[in-house]
Amino acid sequence: MAALEIVLVPALSDNYVYLLHDAGTGATAVVDPGEAAPVEAALAARGWTLTQIVNTHHHHDHTDGNDALKAKYGAPLVGPRAESARISGMDVTVGDGDTVEIAGHRATVYETPGHTTGHISFHIADSQALFCGDTLFALGCGRMFEGTPTQFWKSLSTLRGLPADTRIYCGHEYTQSNARFAVSVDGGNAKLKARAAEIDRLRAAKQPTVPSILADELDTNPFLRADDPAMAAAVGMAGADPTAVFAEIRKRKDAF
C-alpha cells in the first residue's frame, strides 16, 4: 500500500489541520479541524470527498469544524475515549494501544496526556507519520494545561521511542518562537543553532516548518532531552530527576 498523501491546511491564526488521502481508494481523513471552511476549500481544490474526521483532544481550535464537516460529508468522527464528555458527536472512541484505520491505513493510538488529560496521538507506520496534536511540537511541547510533569514526561518519552525517521505533524506553527527559547536554554548545541537558522529562513519565505523529523527533535528539542545530563546541567539541575528537569524547562518556557 502506498503511503498516504498528507496535506497541511493552515487554519485560524497558527493552526495546522491535516488532510490524509489514499489515492488507491479515495479515502480521505481530516485531523483536528479547528474550522471547516479551509478544509472544505482544500478538499474541493483536489476533488476529494471527506470520509473521516479525527481528533487528538478537545480544545476548540482542534474541534470547532467537526459539526459542519460531519453535516456536509457524513463523515464519522474518531477521538479520545478519555475525552468523550468533552467532544460531542464521536462515533468511534479509542485509547492507548488501540489500532484504528485512518483513511484506510492502520494507526496505533498512544495516550499522551499533559496538554490535556485525555490527549491521544496517532502513529501511521506505513506513512512514517505521527499526528500528535499539541503534545509534541517542532522544538517544543504543549502547555501543561491539565496534566502533571510526570504524565507529560512519560508521554514525550513514549513518542521519542518511535522510529527516528517519523515525521512529526503537530498542531501549530510555533517553531520559530520555540527555537528562540530552545537556544536560550541550550545555546551550546551546534545542531540546534543550525536548525534555528534554517527555521528563520523558512519563515522569512513564508514556508511551513512542519513536519519535522523525530531524529532532529531528539538532537535539538530541549523537552525531549530532560534525561540528558548536558540538558540538566544547562538549566542548573545537574543530577536531578528527568521529570523535575522537564518541569523546570516547561516553567521557563511558560515565562519566556
Active site residues: 57, 59, 61-62, 115, 134, 172
Place of cell 525517521: 165
What's the distance, Cα to Cα, between the start and end of the chain in Å?
45
Q: How far apart are CA 253 and CA 255, in angstroms?
A: 5
Considering only the C-alpha atoms of the chain, give the largest distance between any 2 of them, rounded to a whole number of Å.
56
Residue 24 phi/psi, 5° resolution?
-70, -40
Q: How far apart are CA 138 and CA 85, in angstroms?
A: 30
Give the three cell numbers for residue 197.
537558522
Smallest CA-to-CA distance from 196 within 219, 214, 166, 168 is with 219
Give the three cell numbers for residue 43.
478538499
Q: How far apart are CA 206 and CA 182, in angstroms?
A: 21
